[in-house]
Amino acid sequence: MSEITTTRLTETMSPSLLRSEIDKRITKIRPSSTPLDQISRMAGARQAGSMKVQYYSVDLRTGTSELSSTVGKRTIPKDESVMISVKDNSFLSESDTIMFPTVKTPAGHPLVGYVTKADNRNVSFTPVNLTPNDDDEYDMDALPSGAPVVRMGRAAGELDVQTPQFVTLPTKKENYCQIFKAQIEESLLQRLSDKEVGWTFSDQEEAAILDMRMCMERSFLFGEKNKITVGPDNKDVMLTGGIWHQAEKDYTYTPDSLSNSAVVSMMRQAFTDSNGSKRKVLIGGSGLIEQINRLELSRVLTGSQHVTKWGVDFDCIVSKFGSLYVIHSEVFDLCGMENHGMIIDPEYISKYSHIPFSAERISFHKQGLRNTEAVVLTEASCLVLRYPKAHMRIVATDK
């Protein structure tokens, strides 16, 4: 190639090469107004080969369940097993050991058993920490319905080579990339008066990008996944599904009654029973943020720390469970959810982009339509949660 490498040539021959620089410029436009889009954009997007994104989400096998029926007090022979019904049998398999935290042995220890059989209906176990009586039998107290059952380590015999397979399969899910667009148009005389070369961020373009990002933020949070047909030409339009509907945990509270203990409970629920990180982000409406600001933080729950990450300024709340980066989101207010919020784990949010953010200049003057020049901003993307239990909705209930 004998041509000189220029920006224009690069955009023609390799249009994706300069997109990272465009993304960097976009993230500087009022990042605190769109924290979710900002975090996903700073983390980078995965290239999607289709408007329909299929992905796998997986959580760790649960470690606890509950008894679905009561097992009465009984005396059992030493070598016999006890059959129980568990609400979720899928988390147990033969050779697991289990513990009943609320059922005590005569020595005051939680009852522990060895699983001898497990299928889709029932589980059988042999108690291991009960002392047999003179007749070589065990006296076992009742196991009430609803009693927690905790899965513990497997126990193999000396000659055992194999063990039941560990099975945890990811769930295949899908989302649609939505084509987001914005267009800025101005007359040719106005265009000629500008001292610009190439693609720049004029005040008008910056305002359009901010508006576009605000609308994308609402779709990324609360959008409903769907594919519709519109217009006389029956064109297909894909709508992306928001992460609010993808999370699998909820924390409910009553407005105007949020206390330190309630926040600690909220953080406990957010940071436990998942495989997430110890630093998460809370984005919420003005009502929720106002109530958090009213808290008198203590030695156990500390605040007043300021953290800047992903170009966004957060207030930080620290507990023994983890750290929350807190920021007000205008989207919750605009969507009538000022008392709601969401705790997200940035490590487990993925952005898929079928069409990376691009700016295309169109000359309607050259096309003979009207004496104007335009810039069309386009991005086709979606957000997905890879570990749904690592994220949690905060829902305000009626008083």
pTM tops 0.75: no
**231: phi > 0 → left, psi -120 to 50 → alpha, else beta; which?**
left
- Given a contact cutoff of 8 angstroms between Cβ atoms, the answer to whether 392 and 280 are in contact is no
Q: Which pLDDT belongs to residue 173?
A: 77
- Given a contact cutoff of 8 angstroms between Cβ atoms, the answer to whether 287 and 339 are in contact is yes
Q: How far apart are CA 6 and CA 198, in angstroms?
A: 11
Burial letters for 266-275: b for 16+ Cβ neighbours within 10 Å, e otherwise? bbebbbebbe
Burial letters for 40-68: b for 16+ Cβ neighbours within 10 Å, e otherwise? bbbeebeebeebebebebebeeeeebebe
Tell me which residues of the chain have a pLDDT lower than 50: 1-19, 161-162, 164-167, 169, 195, 197-199
- Given a contact cutoff of 8 angstroms between Cβ atoms, the answer to whether 84 and 55 are in contact is no
Amino acid type, 368: G
Q: Which pLDDT belongs to residue 299?
A: 56
Spatial CB neighbours of 235, under 8 Å, sequence gap ≥ 6: 229
Hey, what are 7's tokens? 């920006």
Three-class secondary structure of residue 84 per DSSP: strand
Minimal CA–CA distance to 372: which of 189, 202, 193? 189
Q: Which pLDDT belongs to residue 244?
A: 94
Q: Return the bridge partners of 395, or none.
A: 252
Q: How far apart are CA 386 and CA 171, in angstroms?
A: 10
Q: Which pLDDT belongs to residue 243?
A: 93
**Using CA of residue 26, residue 31, residue 36, residue 42, what is the dihedral sign?**
positive
Q: Which pLDDT belongs to residue 345?
A: 93
Q: Which pLDDT belongs to residue 301?
A: 66
Hey, what are 21's tokens? 């620089």
Tens digit of each residue's pLDDT (9 = 90 or more) over 286-331: 999 999 888 876 655 666 678 888 888 898 888 888 899 999 998 8
Instruction: State residue 13 phi and psi, 5-degree precision.
Output: -85, -35
Tens digit of each residue's pLDDT (9 = 90 or more) over 103-148: 888 888 888 888 888 876 678 888 888 888 878 888 888 899 888 8
Q: Taking each helix axis as running N to C, give the angle between helix 35-43 and helix 203-222, from 0 to 180 degrees, rounded to the nearest 10.
A: 90
- In order of 120, 274, 343, the CA distances from 353 in angstroms are 41, 27, 23
Compute how many other C-beta atoms are within 10 angstroms of the C-beta atom of residue 246.
19
